[in-house]
Amino acid sequence: MNNRIFLAALALAGCTVEADVRVSSAPSEATPRLVVGITVDQMRADYLTRFGVWDDAETPGNFGEGGFRRMVEEGFACRDNHFGYAPTYTGPGHASIYTGTTPAVHGILSNDWYDRASSNGIYCASDTSVRGVGVDGVDADGTVLGSAGQMSPHRMLSTTLGDELKMATGGQAKVYGVSMKDRGAILPAGHAADGAFWYYGKDLGHFISSTHYGDALPDWVVALNQSGKSEALMEAGWERLLDESVYDQCLPDNNPYEGAFKGELKPTFPYDLQALKAQNAGYDLLKGTPGGNTLIVDFALAAIDGAGLGQDDVTDVLALSFSATDYVGHRVGPHAQETMDMYLRLDAELKRLFDALDEKVGEGNWTAFLTADHGGANVPSHAASLQMPTDYWKKGNLMDAVEAALVKRYGRSGSETWILNSSNDQVMLNHPLLDRKGIDRCEVARFVADQCNTDPALSKAVAACDAPALAASDPMVARLVRGHRPGFSGDVFLVPQPGWIDYGRTGTTHGSTFPHDTHVPALFLGAGVPHGETYSRTHIRDIAPTLSQIIRSPYPNGTTGQPISDLLNASNR
């Protein structure tokens, strides 16, 4: 039944048709041979319009025709896409994209969190049961020398898009992940991946892996490592891509709100990377420059050729995470010329990637999506200079005051403290002490929240035991609940005021429940994707089930998101 006959039939039946999605062309109906997932670390949604305006075809901004603009002009854009949970960090962001759920289910609560069982902090991807591969991490008898390669997805409690595809195809689907960061490669690739690779800059400038994925690097990864690409990028340095006048929407190049690399007097163009190398952990310097994004595309093209991705009728998955955008954001913030230049150069790298996919896999045979793992706040010192109500806060003094209030109320217990840990904007109480004293945990959590609510830097403090009931009427608290795992997360949530951060005076960070951290792009392109856009609210957890529908694969087993109906319904018109 064609579209007009279908609509006429609905009209005869007395039905009305409503849609808040604009669609202009139908997609290919073929199941893609390759899905390329693109995560741009710390990419705020406004960067698409601020750096590369797509609303006016006559003034398309500074992006070229084959990168971001191709995704918007040929693919599908979700204009109001958000993280539906907090805290918004890299580890949980990457896990949520590919599991279709939130930290409450997949268990990646932050990049690092305090573990009650061991009384230690743990890292989201650390695994001492494996060893590094491709890095000088073991000696002749197998003794571990370093921890850079001791990583795996074992802390993630649910399956990923690639995991389910592996099972559904009897292991025939090939699944790979790559990033400059270990967590950015490992969590998207999943448990059953053929490989996850991350960049080890110090001394080497190579991609490495762990024995979770195999005992040796594939030959094509070894060849890439030996190609001299890292050395060439260091030698090339970093200059503006376009004339300085193009960056007039940004702050002046030399301003007090940006941090400098070690060894330089001021953070300004051009950057002599060779001169900065020795004081900035060697090739790790590339992680915070456009060269880091170039290396990810180099790896992607090597993987397509070396692993034979997208070369048969079984869908493969390649998860790419571009980390350089996060490093530059932390150093200089969202309004620096360096940040804009990073995205202009990333745009060119996306064109290089998409052109190669057309050539190597075939136009109409691949599907790509692009999103981010979190956004980023404005630099508070910059915003405050414009009379905006933002500032910095440090929870240390607050926690000291709250501990003193707890001692006054409940007394001392030797050298033990009532507050066990404070991190990720959560307060963890000393449960064993409370239980021995017969004191109700929720009572103490409410007392702590009341004490914290007097701090002017906080929007609110909420006892975790009260949060589920409050979530029904408070969307901010609902996000906190989705990021909370009882027994493993904190007892009290601390919510800084919008735009307030616990950070240095230059650059920025992320982690909050507010739009500067939650509003990120969601773009889709290729087989199974129509051209259009929607302003309906979508969430990061919706991406995996949407792709599952496109590739006809089971949902990840912890999925709590929903397929993006505007995209899929438009595909069927």
Domain ranges of the chain: 34-366, 395-496
> What tokens were used for 271?
């950057």
Contact in structure between 392 and 543 (CB atoms under 8 Å) = no
What is the CATH code of the structural domain delimited by 34-366? 3.40.720.10
> Which residue stretches of 392-452 are H helix?
395-410, 431-437, 441-452
Is the pTM higher than 0.85? Answer: yes
Angle between helices 543-551 and 90-99 (to 10 degrees): 30
Residue 52 — very low, low, confident or very high, per pLDDT cuts 50/70/90? confident
- Residues contacting residue 53 through CB under 8 Å, at least 6 positions apart: 59, 60, 61
Residue 259 has pLDDT above 90, yes or no: yes
In the beta sheet, which residues pair with residue 196?
177
Residue 61 — very low, low, confident or very high, per pLDDT cuts 50/70/90? confident
Contact in structure between 357 and 490 (CB atoms under 8 Å) = no
Who wins on pLDDT, 127 or 139?
127
Report DSSP state, residue 66. Answer: T
Residue 22 has pLDDT above 80, yes or no: no
Please write the tens of the pLDDT for every residue from 63-108.
Answer: 999 999 999 999 999 999 999 999 999 999 999 999 999 999 999 9
Token pair 């507010």 is found at: 514
Domain 395-496, architecture per CATH: 2-Layer Sandwich (3.30)
Please write the tens of the pLDDT for every residue from 295-324.
Answer: 999 999 999 999 999 999 999 999 999 999
Average pLDDT on 506-511 reads: 98
Instruction: Just list the catalytic residues.
Output: 90
Residue 132 has pLDDT above 80, yes or no: yes
Residue 449 has pLDDT above 70, yes or no: yes
Same fold, 34-366 and 395-496: no
- pLDDT value at position 18? 38
Distance CA 86, CA 88 (A): 5
